[in-house]
Amino acid sequence: MFKFIIRRICVAIPTLLLISFFIFGLQKLMPGDPALMLAGEDRSPEAMDYIRETYHLNEPFIVQYLYWLSDVLQGDLGTSIRSDQSVMELLLLKLPVTIELSVLSMLFAILIGIPMSVIAAVKKNSKWDLSSSIFALVGQSIPNFWLGFMMILLFSVYWGVLPASGYVSPFESISQNIQTMIMPAFVLGTGLAATIFRHSRGAMLEILSADFIRTARAKGVKRKVIYLKHALRNALIPVVTMVTIQFGELLGGAVLTEQVFTIPGLGKLIVDSVYNRDFPVVQGIVMFSALMFIISNILADIAYYLLDPKLRNKEVN
């Protein structure tokens, strides 16, 4: 197990370094002089020279990258041009909101996707199977921003039962927090539910046709035990790894959904930073998103290793 994790980390480190190089390099390709943006209204030659010397803008590209990477490895992602606030502080401020949205979205996805997939696999080629497959196709096809606008129109404008936008911390009011988060979480969760449904249904169908399931049926094992204990338990192995990766992507920031519902998370922060040309914040969020995605992949590999006895036996042999 320890060797397995070390190998995954050894692959992840050069990948993350390569991503950091591209993140820094793409920002340098953007038009405009960074010193002009940092100087603001005070664009005197003395101020420009000071900024270029302080931020190593006169150095070659690779030297600038190494300075930036050294700061990143020490937890310093830079300072926001717009607010003059540490990028790390901004990330830590917005991250709890995105974590809450991600957790609620994943709960919606699991509670909708897995029960539907189990019933669809058990009742293969039935009306339920057909309707569930259509729902999954629609859920994957509808853009999140369009579904968000339609829910705001229905639940906020027409019925007036939920707020159209905004965010209330659960420490201020749990009920208002749920009211502000339920629509964006459902919007994100439907697309994920469709993905979970398709993966888990396929895995369930494969498991239900396996020899040990036929043996259990021949022994007279109850259907509920066969479906839930034997079939679902084995079918969830690939689903768990997929859900782990999806959760890592959500932590990177649900850009469109947070923008539609005005949720002050990482997604909205990166959109606002792009509009304001606040490049240090954009770099920090993209770097953080890449890190979350790589960590989620490592956790998915570990989960697959723990859940699949074949992989463990192969490792031992």
Amino acid found at 99 = I
pLDDT band at residue 183 using 50, 70 and 90 as cut-offs: very high
Percentage of the chain beyond pLDDT 70 is 90
Return the pLDDT at 159. 92
Q: What CA dihedral angle connects 278, 284, 286 and 287, to 10 degrees?
A: 150
Beta partners for residue 79, in sequence order: 86
Percentage of the chain beyond pLDDT 90 is 11
Residue with tokens 């040990």: 212
Q: What is the mean pLDDT of residues 168-177?
A: 90
Rounded Cα–Cα distance for residues 124 and 110 (Å): 20
Q: What pTM value is reported for the model?
A: 0.83
Residue with tokens 């079939």: 231
Return the pLDDT at 258. 87
Q: What is the mean pLDDT of residues 17-43?
A: 73
Rounded Cα–Cα distance for residues 294 and 283 (Å): 17
Return the pLDDT at 315. 54
Residue-wise pLDDT tens digits, 118-166: 889 888 888 888 988 888 888 888 888 888 899 999 999 999 899 988 8
Rounded Cα–Cα distance for residues 185 and 181 (Å): 6
Beta partners for residue 295, in sequence order: none
What is the Cα gyration radius of the chain? 24
Find, among 170, 150, 175, 243, the residue nearest to 203 by Cα.
Answer: 243
Beta strands, E only, 51-206: none
Helix axes 61-73, 2-29, angle to 10 degrees: 130
**Most trustworthy range by pLDDT among 263-272, 277-286, 294-303:** 263-272
Residue with tokens 């954009």: 282
Domains of the chain: 2-73 (no CATH), 99-276 (1.10.3720.10)
> Cβ distance 93 to 268 under 8 Å?
no
Position 225 pLDDT exceeds 60: yes
Rounded Cα–Cα distance for residues 265 and 51 (Å): 30
Contacts of 16 (CB under 8 A, 6+ apart): 290, 291, 294
Rounded Cα–Cα distance for residues 188 and 104 (Å): 9
Rounded Cα–Cα distance for residues 193 and 115 (Å): 10
State the chain's mean pLDDT as an integer: 83
Residue-wise pLDDT tens digits, 61-118: 888 888 888 888 888 888 887 777 888 999 989 989 999 999 999 999 999 988 998 8
Return the pLDDT at 71. 85
